[in-house]
């Protein structure tokens, strides 16, 4: 049986400057009856803009493995879940400190990046009264873990990173996020070709769906309309273990059936429930650069004429012009035009000696293998387990296997926890 405790603390909106205001940050401490003496493991969720799991006895699937050795701290990233969530409710922006003008909302959101999440985590650690804890970062949570390793290594017993070793631009290198997106477009081409070769009927269905989206749009049950970019974004399913079957079954339905329309809406990866995931997504790659719609800039010209070249975590401006995210259009544009400061200090990363174990997925659609291995090479005390057995969601899909593997690597590094 799980033992859960709630923790709510007040933190500055602006950890690094003098912009006034505070927000509330929420964390759930998850353990078992015999957990009180175990060290804490902070879970940093993927995203950005997605709250932590709501745990049950066997969900997420890796939780039972983690609870053998730790108490798990499920932190809702600022702006999500119970941490002063940002959204659009009853015709207005909420969680924005009263800001309604798109420029003002974007300015507010500039305080919600990985650097601030790390400082929030430090405040949670202090509130728990511990000097050190371990961290587990999945995807964007790994990006956040790298910031943690660089800025507060003294607070960390160990780090576990799964599918989250982002590209860290070297001094003098081009920091443009489009460099990473160019690679992920090619990965998605390979995954798309493999999927449609295996399921020719799905290829025909996708062509019909794409054609309808281009000519008329596809009416969704919520009253919005899916455009071409929405249909193409279904490719994100191919980046997860089991997602190919989900896409296959979706495409079995007739385009004019209620099942297709409802399943399409439910399968769209960028939704109004977690608007930061779409509006804020490209900023997670930004380190000393604008995003300027990096995924679109990196998109090969051939994509426009190929309905079977699906996108992954590629945010297209068209997603904000129709569909459930339309109210975020001007906010997303303001964020795309913003200059972002350096997120990861290369020299600090190289100096961090925290024992770190990382899972790198050979065919990861969202965080490319080659860039991950390059970043791992910057860390002084990092062991990598590379596998082609799982996709980007291997932590959740493996039932604890990925976490066990990383635990073994950390034992080899003589990590304390």
Mean pLDDT of 169-174: 95
User: CA nearest 409: which of 382, 388, 387, 372?
Assistant: 382
What's the confidence (pLDDT) of residue 284? 97
pLDDT digits (tens, 9 = 90+) for 190-242: 999 999 999 999 999 999 999 999 999 999 999 999 999 999 999 999 999 99
Mean pLDDT of 100-117: 98
Rounded to whole angstroms, how far apart are CA atoms 165 and 147?
A: 11
Domains of the chain with CATH codes: 3-168+344-412 (3.40.50.1820), 178-336 (no CATH)
Q: What is the DSSP string of 148-212?
A: HHHH-GGGEEEEEEES-----PPTTS---THHHHHHHHHHHHHHHHHHHHH-HHHHHHHHHHHHH
pLDDT digits (tens, 9 = 90+) for 120-157: 999 999 999 999 999 999 999 999 999 999 999 999 99
Residue 58 has pLDDT above 90, yes or no: no
Question: Please, where are the H alpha helices in 294-388?
Answer: 294-298, 329-336, 346-351, 369-376
Residue positions annotated with a catalytic role: 139, 339, 392
Q: Treating both helix axes as pointing N-terminal to C-terminal, what angle do 178-198 and 243-252 enclose, rounded to 10 degrees?
A: 60
pLDDT digits (tens, 9 = 90+) for 259-311: 999 999 999 999 999 999 999 999 999 999 999 999 999 999 999 999 999 99
Q: What percent of the chain has pLDDT over 70?
A: 100
Confidence band of 70 (pLDDT split at 50, 70, 90): very high
What's the confidence (pLDDT) of residue 417? 76
**Coil, strand or helix at 81:** coil
The least confident of 45-49, 143-147, 249-253, 323-327 is 323-327
pLDDT digits (tens, 9 = 90+) for 72-107: 999 999 999 999 999 999 999 999 999 999 999 999
What's the confidence (pLDDT) of residue 35? 86
Residue 339 has pLDDT above 90, yes or no: yes
Residue 312 has pLDDT above 90, yes or no: yes
What's the confidence (pLDDT) of residue 414? 81
Mean pLDDT of 361-390: 98
What's the confidence (pLDDT) of residue 36? 87
Give bridge partners of residue 23 from the DSSP assignment: 11
pTM, full prediction: 0.97
Rounded to whole angstroms, how far apart are CA atoms 376 and 217?
A: 43
What's the confidence (pLDDT) of residue 16? 97
Mean pLDDT of 25-45: 96
What's the confidence (pLDDT) of residue 416? 78
User: What is the pLDDT of the chain when averaged over all its residues?
Assistant: 97
Let me know: does 247 contact 192? Beta carbons within 8 Å.
no
Confidence band of 324 (pLDDT split at 50, 70, 90): confident
* DSSP label at residue 3: E
């Amino acid at each position: 049986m799980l033992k859960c405790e709630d923790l709510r603390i007040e933190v500055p909106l602006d950890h690094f400057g003098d912009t006034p205001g505070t927000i509330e940050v929420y964390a759930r401490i998850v353990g078992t009856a015999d957990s009180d003496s175990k060290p804490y493991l902070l879970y940093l969720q993927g995203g950005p803009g997605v709250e932590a799991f709501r745990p049950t006895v066997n969900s997420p699937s890796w939780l039972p493995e983690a609870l053998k050795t730790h108490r798990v701290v499920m932190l809702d990233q600022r702006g999500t879940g119970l941490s002063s969530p940002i959204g659009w409710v009853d015709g207005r922006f909420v969680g924005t400190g009263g800001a309604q003008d798109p420029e003002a909302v974007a300015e507010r959101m500039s305080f919600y990046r990985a650097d601030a999440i790390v400082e929030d985590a430090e405040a949670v650690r202090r509130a728990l009264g511990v000097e050190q804890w371990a961290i587990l970062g999945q995807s964007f949570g790994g990006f956040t873990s790298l910031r943690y390793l660089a800025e507060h290594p003294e607070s960390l017993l160990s780090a576990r990173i799964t599918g989250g070793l982002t590209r860290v631009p070297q001094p003098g290198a081009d920091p443009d996020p489009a460099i990473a997106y160019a690679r992920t477009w090619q990965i998605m081409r390979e995954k798309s070709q493999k999927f449609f070769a295996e399921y020719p009927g799905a290829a025909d269905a996708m062509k019909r769906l794409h054609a309808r989206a281009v000519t008329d749009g596809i009416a969704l049950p919520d009253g919005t309309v899916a455009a071409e970019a929405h249909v193409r974004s279904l490719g994100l399913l191919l980046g997860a273990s089991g997602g190919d079957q989900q896409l296959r079954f979706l495409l079995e339905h007739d385009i004019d059936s209620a099942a297709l329309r409802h399943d399409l809406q439910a399968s769209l990866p960028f939704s109004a429930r977690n608007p930061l995931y779409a509006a804020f997504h490209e900023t997670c790659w930004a380190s000393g650069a604008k995003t300027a719609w990096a995924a679109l800039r990196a998109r090969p010209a051939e994509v426009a004429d190929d309905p079977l070249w699906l996108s992954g975590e590629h945010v297209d401006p068209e997603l904000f012009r129709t569909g459930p995210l339309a109210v975020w259009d001007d906010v997303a544009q303001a964020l795309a035009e913003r200059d972002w400061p350096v997120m990861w200090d290369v020299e600090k990363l190289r100096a961090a000696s925290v024992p770190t174990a990382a899972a790198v997925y050979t065919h990861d659609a969202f965080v490319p293998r080659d860039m991950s291995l390059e970043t791992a090479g910057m860390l002084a005390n990092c062991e990598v387990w590379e596998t082609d057995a799982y996709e980007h969601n291997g932590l959740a899909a493996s039932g604890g296997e990925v976490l066990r593997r990383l635990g073994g690597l950390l034992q080899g590094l003589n990590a304390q926890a």
